[in-house]
Amino acid sequence: MERILRIVLVEPEIPPNTGNVARLSAAVGARLHLVRPLGFELDDRRLKRAGLDYWPDVRMTVHDDFSGLKTELAEAPFYLATTKGERSYTDIKYEPGCCLVFGAETRGLPECILAAYPDRQIKIPMREGCRSLNLSNAVAVVVYEVMRQWDFAGLV
């Protein structure tokens, strides 16, 4: 199976974060999936600026809702990044075709999504008292763990 990685942002709110994730997606060959509602327009200048000149290499799909994403990617294993997760992101063996799912910057993933994947929740360990990392930083941390496990296949 081709080593495809899918990055999913559910209801992202801050254009530069999404732009940074788009640039990361292009850099590692991942597919980016955005789930509406978005906190910005796709032609937002801050979004475009953060993605720099990588936009032609970004493979992006926008979904109207999480249900539509689940239907389209029904066979893909999902891993949900959440501060409520019990397992570290490094304790997972990521399969080709997997989806790394991240929530909105101010509220994370909705409870209904978390409840659907109780055994697929991962966390990035942090010091007590820290609520969360910046979204684009969190995505980068987990994405590069996946790339490391896949021996950085296709990267130079």
Residue 61 lies in a domain: yes
pLDDT of amino acid 53: 84
In the chain, how many domains are there? 1
Residue 1 lies in a domain: no
DSSP 102: E
Residue 155 lies in a domain: no
Residue 2's pLDDT band, with cuts at 50, 70 and 90, is low
Residue 43's pLDDT band, with cuts at 50, 70 and 90, is confident
Q: What is the CATH number of the domain that holds 22?
A: 3.40.1280.10
DSSP line for 110-131: -HHHHHH-TTSEEE----TT--
Residue 144 lies in a domain: yes
Average the pLDDT over 59-72 and give the result.
Answer: 97
Residue range(s) defining the domain that contains residue 118: 6-149
Residue 156 lies in a domain: no
